Structure 1
């Protein structure tokens, strides 16, 4: 039996309420538990979308879920908390599906880079090769002064909105708050 990897926490949706309001009950991304699932899902996409990265979430049970890149992470997860979220691209090499790029880029869930073990575990269980880490890691922090979500770039922990210092530890665990 599979057990969830040791992760610090799960990630709730923290983005705008109007986006959460668009989630349809019972509608979620496609579960990918094997390379056959991935092949079938990719085959069902319009040809122009097959080469694009797609939206992914890792559900609390460790299942990799995929949706079109034009989908919101909260919709892919049917509004439920996740172990990780981001974007992923696949390439077929030597008859095997591999992850060519993977990030934790989800401004709706803002997962920490420490969520990688959940992604790695889901990819390995599905038999999908991967790069061993996020190829495009994103560092998210919430400003404690103005409550805005920020992406930290170049190790510059300063709010892009109010210029207050940002915490070094991940803290994006509250829904958007009115400012």
Structure 2
């Protein structure tokens, strides 16, 4: 059995320390997704929404400018990122999904938790992240980094970044 990693919040303390309620929904069915998306402004639907997969495996959604830590209620998560929906016949499908969350910095290996949460809702998805983000913490200066073009070099101090995920709570 594959052990699912829990991701702790590793972002700025000021966001963690002032977790506020967001316009969020726990999505566990097509009906709950339909209802939440129906309440969105057209402009909101033109861009991705913020998501987390909570420790109970439930997909939680909030408008894009919501902090992941607020959406998670200050708790660890199984996955976090951004998700875009598109009409699919009379329902919805996940058009794009990424693990882009600088608060949790999840590794792309969190995809199975995302897929399971979306499958639980019962809508089609792309089968993997449409944009995979690689996060690493610099062992020299402690900065969180996004690895681009397989360049495992710290953007702040120029030190080598590890090949394996290494972000833990401070």
Q: Which runs of 5+ in 1 are unaligned?
A: none
Deviating 4+ runs (over 2 angstroms): 5-8, 26-29
Scaled by the length of structure 2, the TM-score of the pair is 0.95
Are 2:153 and 1:158 aligned?
Answer: yes
1:40 is aligned to 35
Are 2:111 and 1:107 aligned?
Answer: no
Question: Is this contact kept in 1: 2:22–2:66, CA < 8 A?
Answer: no
Matched length:
170
Superposed displacement of residue 135, structure 1: 0.3
Scaled by the length of structure 1, the TM-score of the pair is 0.90
Question: Is this contact kept in 2: 1:28–1:78, CA < 8 A?
Answer: no
Question: Is this contact kept in 2: 1:99–1:130, CA < 8 A?
Answer: yes
Residues 66-106 of structure 1, C-alpha deviations (whole Å, 9 max, x = no match): 00101000000010000000000001112231100000000
> Cα gap change, 1:21/1:138 in structure 2, threshold over 3 Å: closer, same or farther?
same
Question: Is this contact kept in 1: 2:51–2:81, CA < 8 A?
Answer: yes
Across the aligned residues of Structure 1 and Structure 2, the Cα RMSD in angstroms comes to: 1.5
Are 2:35 and 1:74 aligned?
Answer: no
